[in-house]
């Protein structure tokens, strides 16, 4: 039982977690009614301010936790990770050093768990420990988005990398196949975004009262009413690329959540999976500030779509068109 006030820091891997879920993770036997009472009375504070159960946490924030009549969750035994998952992690490893790890996250693998996610990357990270610290998540990709995902090898690396991501410093470039086509070969989408709907069923929408969101785009190819886009999010909002493309009339192929039936063109027949891939990530290396860059090849379902449309991932003209996205 905690008998004194504690100051707890939000860990990098807890970035984006709701406050009530943070307490459920650290104090699993704390009744919801007791938590709400502590919040209403102001005994729980975030960065010195009153806070609500639904507040989203950021890495490095400090929580004031009053004495709680509940023992913290005991240390759990190391999870047993299947041999197939060990092999999968080895196959998707792009880069590793003493500070960071870059993975090519597969389509369909959730980064973190939830009520419907029994298998997720966060639970598999102990397999990458190699006798040291368990790697930590410093950013996320949607379950159905493939591509470059960065992990911190140590707590100190996580602290430094989380600061970089909070400032939107990383250069992230995505490939997407969209239905329709922009009139201009390159440009910028500047539309504020906000979440709407009940918890667990939230969707992101364009909202003038929302948070600023900017996305650069470049046309890399066109075929059969489908466009191959290079996308660079200049801000890091949830579902930013999916909602920005939809708002411009170009739903991402396979994005049933936002694009509905329009996101599944009948001709040519394409794999019914989300065609959004985190192609490249570049940022200051946490050890010496030199530029670290990781590139992930397109997943099999996207390569199949490229073949059906006549796109070549190694096309020099496409690479030249995408180079504009790399400019500061």
Q: Has residue 187 been placed in a domain?
A: yes
Note down the domain range covering 132. 83-165
Whole-number Å distance between alpha carbons of 83 and 15: 29
**Is there a single domain that holds both residue 179 and residue 320?**
yes
pLDDT for the residue 73:
47
Could you give the dihedral angle defined by the CA atoms of residues 116, 121, 126 and 129, in that order, rounded to the nearest 10 degrees?
-170
Contact present, 195 and 211 (Cβ < 8 Å):
no
Q: Are strands 93-96 and 62-65 parallel, antiparallel or unpaired?
A: unpaired
The secondary structure of 146-200 as a DSSP string is EEEEEEESSHHHHHHHHHHHHTT-SEEEEEEEEES--SSSEEEEE--EEEESSTT
Whole-number Å distance between alpha carbons of 63 and 9: 6
CATH number of the domain enclosing 157: 3.30.2350.10
Q: Has residue 205 been placed in a domain?
A: yes
The residue from 107, 142, 165 where one domain ends is 165
Per-residue pLDDT of the chain (328 residues; tens, 9 = 90+): 445 788 888 887 788 888 998 888 888 778 888 899 899 999 999 999 999 998 999 888 999 998 875 544 454 555 688 899 999 999 999 999 999 999 999 999 999 876 566 789 999 999 998 778 899 999 999 999 999 999 999 989 998 998 888 887 899 999 999 999 999 999 999 999 998 887 667 899 999 999 999 999 999 999 999 999 999 999 989 999 999 999 999 999 999 999 999 999 988 889 999 999 999 999 999 998 899 999 999 999 999 999 999 999 999 889 898 899 988 6
Give 25-55 pLDDT, tens digit per residue: 888 778 888 899 899 999 999 999 999 998 9
Q: Has residue 72 been placed in a domain?
A: no
Q: Has residue 98 been placed in a domain?
A: yes
Give the catalytic positions in this structure: 142
Query: Which stretches does DSSP call E strand in 269-310?
Result: 276-284, 291-295
Give 234-254 pLDDT, tens digit per residue: 998 999 999 999 999 999 999
**Is there a single domain that holds both residue 187 and residue 305?**
yes
């Amino acid at each position: 039982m905690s008998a004194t006030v504690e100051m707890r820091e939000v860990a990098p891997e807890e970035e984006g977690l709701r406050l009530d879920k943070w307490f459920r993770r650290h104090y699993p036997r704390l009744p919801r009614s007791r938590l709400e009472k502590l919040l209403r009375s102001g005994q729980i504070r975030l960065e010195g301010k009153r806070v609500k159960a639904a507040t989203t946490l950021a890495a490095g924030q400090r929580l004031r936790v009053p004495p709680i009549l509940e023992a913290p969750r005991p240390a759990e035994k190391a999870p047993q990770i299947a041999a197939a998952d060990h092999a999968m992690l080895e196959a998707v490893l792009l880069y590793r050093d003493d500070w960071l790890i870059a993975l090519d996250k597969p389509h369909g693998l959730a980064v973190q768990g939830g009520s419907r996610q029994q298998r997720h990357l966060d639970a598999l990270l102990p397999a990458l420990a190699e006798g040291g610290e368990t790697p930590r998540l410093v950013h996320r990709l949607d379950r159905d988005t493939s591509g470059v995902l960065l992990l911190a090898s140590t707590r100190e690396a996580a602290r430094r990398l989380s600061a970089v991501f909070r400032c939107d410093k990383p250069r992230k470039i995505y490939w997407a196949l969209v239905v329709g086509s922009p009139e201009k070969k390159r440009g910028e989408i500047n539309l504020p975004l906000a979440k709407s709907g009940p918890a667990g069923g939230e969707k992101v929408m364009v909202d003038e009262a929302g948070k600023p969101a900017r996305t650069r785009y470049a046309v890399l190819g066109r075929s059969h009413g489908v466009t191959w886009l290079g996308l660079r999010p200049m801000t890091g909002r949830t579902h930013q690329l999916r909602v920005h493309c939809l708002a411009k009339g170009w739903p991402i192929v396979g994005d049933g959540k936002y694009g509905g039936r329009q996101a599944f063109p009948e001709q040519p027949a394409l794999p019914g999976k989300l065609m959004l891939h985190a192609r490249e990530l570049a940022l200051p290396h946490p050890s010496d500030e030199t530029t670290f860059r990781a590139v992930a090849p397109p997943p099999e379902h996207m390569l199949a779509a490229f073949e059906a449309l006549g796109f070549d991932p190694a096309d020099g003209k496409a690479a030249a068109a995408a180079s504009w996205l790399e400019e500061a």
